[in-house]
Structure 1
C-alpha cells in the first residue's frame, strides 16, 4: 500500500481543487501533516527517505481515521549531517513556527478540529513537542505528534539485527520500510553494515558531536538485513500504535 496509489486521492490535499478541499475538511475535520528531512541515508537510500516514509504513514493513518493529508514538508532539523553534500536544514525554532502556522491557518480556513503531525525524522521531535504544547493555549485544535511510535518494541519483535544506540538511520528498519514504500529507489547492492564504535560514540548523546563524525558510510546498523515483508509488518504496527493513542484520548474525525 503506497502513498501514490489511487485510493489516496480522496485524502490528498495537493490533488484537490478548492471545492474538493472544502468537502474533505467538512467531512473529516482532521489534518495530517507529514514532515521529513533532506539528508544522507547511506549509499543505498535516497536523501528524501524520511519524506517518503512520513508521507506513507500519513496516508495509512488517514485511511483508518478519515483525514486530509497535507503536502509533505521535505526539510527538517538535520544539523548532524550539516557537512554532507545535499543536506538542507531549517532550525528548530523555524520548524516549530511552521507547524503552529499550519494549525492556525487550517483552523481559520478549514475549521479543523484535530491535527496530527507525523515525522519521518527523529531530530524534528523536539520542535514538534513544543509546537503542540504551545498550541494548547492558542488554538482549540486537538493536536498529536508521532515519530515512529513504538518502534523499539516493533524492532524487537521483527528486526533481525540490533539498533545502534537505540537509534535508527539507514539501517535494517528504514531500508525495510523503503523496500515497501519506494523499492525503486533502494539499491540493495550498495547496502552495508556499520555499527560505529569510536571514542566519540558515547559522547554523541552528551555533546555536540555530530553523527557525521561517527560513521564512514552514513549507515547506523545493518542495512543488508532489510526485508520488505518484515518492513510491511512493522509499518502496520506503527499505524496501529498511532491509532491506539488517538483512541485512548477520544478518537474523532
Structure 2
C-alpha cells in the first residue's frame, strides 16, 4: 500500500461524535482519535423543559449533518455514573435521574457511546498531564474537574457546595449571577473563587473554560489561564483511548 493510499484511508476512517450538553446550548462535532476537529461545530438552543427524548431528537438532527462516526463521547452537566445520569441541575433532575443516556444515545445513533461529566470531558481537552490540574467551567452553572498527572480524580460536585453567604458555586458564578450583578461584580466573584480553590487544593494549574470564560477580565495568577471552549468537544477523544 502506498503512502498516499494510507493517508487517504486514514482520512476516511470514521471519527468520534463529541457531544457537549449545556444548559443553554447543545453542541456536537466529529473529532478524530487525537481530538482534532474533523467537522464544524453544530449547535442548537437547549430546549426547556429538556426531556431526554427532546435531547436525543436534537442530537439525531445535528448528527445527520456531520461526517461519518463510529463512536460517541458525551459530556453531561451533572453527576453521571456507569452511563447513567444521577443529577441534572440545569436541565431538571426530576426528568433525568436514573436515565441511561449512554445506552439511549447509542441505540438512537446506532454506534457505542460513553458518558462523562461535561467539565471532566472539557478537562481532557485542556490539561497538560503534569501535576495537580483543576478545570472550572463557567457557563449556565459552574463545573469542576480535577486531574493528577493526567488521571481523572473522583468527581466533586463543588457546584452545589456553599461558597459565600450560603450561595453555591452555581449561584455565585453561574449565568444568573453574571446577569444579575454585572460583569465587574461577577469578575470579583471569579477572583475570590480562584483564591479559595487554591487554599483548598493547592493546584499546580487552574484552567477556566466554558462559555462565560470570555467575560473574565481580572489579572490572573501565573498558574491560572483561560481555555478554549472547543475543549468541551475535543476532550471526547480521551474517553476511547483506553479501549
TM range (shorter): 0.3 to 0.5
- Structure richer in helix, relative to its length: 1
- Structure richer in strand, relative to its length: 2
